[in-house]
Amino acid sequence: MTTTATPDWAQIICAPTTASAPLAVPRPRGAIRLRGPDAAKFLQGQTTCDLLALAEQRDGEAIGGAQCTPKGRMIFDFCAFFSQADGERDLILITAPDLVDIAITSLKKYAVFFKVEISDVSAQWCQLLLLGDAPAQPPAATLFALAERITTLTLPLSAAAELQLADWQLGDSAAAEQALLAAGIAEVTAATSELFIPQMLNFDHRGFISFKKGCYTGQEIVARAHYRGAVKRRLALLQASGELPASAQPGAELRDGDGRAIGTIAALGAAQLLAAVTEQALAVEQFSVDQQPFTATASALVAATE
């Protein structure tokens, strides 16, 4: 578990009234802009969520989703919303910083027949993770609920200095990491790109998959897993009895005490990790990663099979 310094943009006016005031945590994020008349139409055929429905909503509404390979493996996940800039209504995708180049390269492969420009605008946007009851939506900001009492607040960097969150206090990355793990939220990174189908990270239960919108890349695999009950691995929280081995990193293969592959690590904390595992893994106490053993208790977040 690591902590990061408060970034320069976090000129946030927080005025906590008690020591238990909710936390606002500055969060490194990447941002991708899709500009042009075909932005929503193009992305509709590439992602798990309904972008055309989002396009009909007012600016400030957000939706979660992912782009998949033809085999249904997630290349990157994102929070999407529309924003006005330079007389254009841009579609903005917020994702992990180390996925921006991967995502843009992947999207551009399919964009040649659409009127859409795809660019990295990470330097123009910033985000807070809010741990507590979400505030009223600040001007120019987009709120998106990740879980109960965990919300992201995204806004243009140019508006950050004017942000005011009364009765909030600044938190650090360790608090954010712990909250996300406890809530069972594992986000795709460069290390886990193309390893998971969306249901393995419970995207179906989080509302990040539309099963009514029609075809998109990887849709056949995602739909088959849903309708045939073929989700054989689901996210579980593993609480280690001691320190995790150094080889326990996102993307690493998780094995039981007999060396059988039982899952893949999706997110990591100090003595906790989230992994997409088989149902049998929930009864295991002895695990290993790269032949380095550790003891842990696994708790299901959603049933491994439906």
Name the β-bridge partners of 76.
67
Burial 201-233 (b: 16+ CB within 10 A, else e): bbbbebebbbeebeebbbbebbeebbeeeebeb
CA distance 56 to 49: 14
Domain with CATH 2.40.30.110 in the chain: 232-306
- In terms of Cβ atoms closer than 10 Å to its own Cβ (0-12, 13-18, 19+), residue 103 is buried
CA distance 67 to 27: 22
Q: Which amino acid is at 196?
A: F
Q: Which amino acid is at 129?
A: L
3-state secondary structure of 40: helix
CA distance 29 to 31: 7
Question: What token pair was written down for 194?
Answer: 């193309």
Q: Are 245 and 203 in contact (CB under 8 A)?
A: no
Tens-digit pLDDT profile for residues 114-159: 999 999 999 999 999 999 999 999 989 999 999 999 999 999 999 9
Q: How far is C-alpha 173 from the geometric centre of its chain's CA atoms?
A: 15
Question: What token pair was written down for 137?
Answer: 């939506």
Tell me how crowded residue 11 is: count the other CB atoms within 10 A of its CB.
Answer: 11
Report residues of the chain scoring pLDDT below 70: 1-5, 303-306
Contacts of 219 (CB under 8 A, 6+ apart): 48, 68, 72
Q: Are 294 and 240 in contact (CB under 8 A)?
A: yes
Contacts 24+ apart (CB under 8 A), 47-52: 47/78, 47/80, 47/216, 48/198, 48/203, 48/208, 48/209, 48/210, 48/216, 48/218, 48/219, 48/222, 49/80, 49/208, 49/209, 49/210, 49/213, 50/210, 50/212, 50/213, 51/80, 51/91, 52/213
Give me the pLDDT at residue 4, please: 65
Domain with CATH 3.30.1360.120 in the chain: 13-182
What pTM did the predictor assign?
0.94
CATH class of the domain at 232-306: mainly beta
Burial 23-33 (b: 16+ CB within 10 A, else e): bbbbbebbbbb
Give me the pLDDT at residue 189, please: 97
CATH number of 13-182: 3.30.1360.120
Tens-digit pLDDT profile for residues 66-85: 999 999 999 999 999 999 98
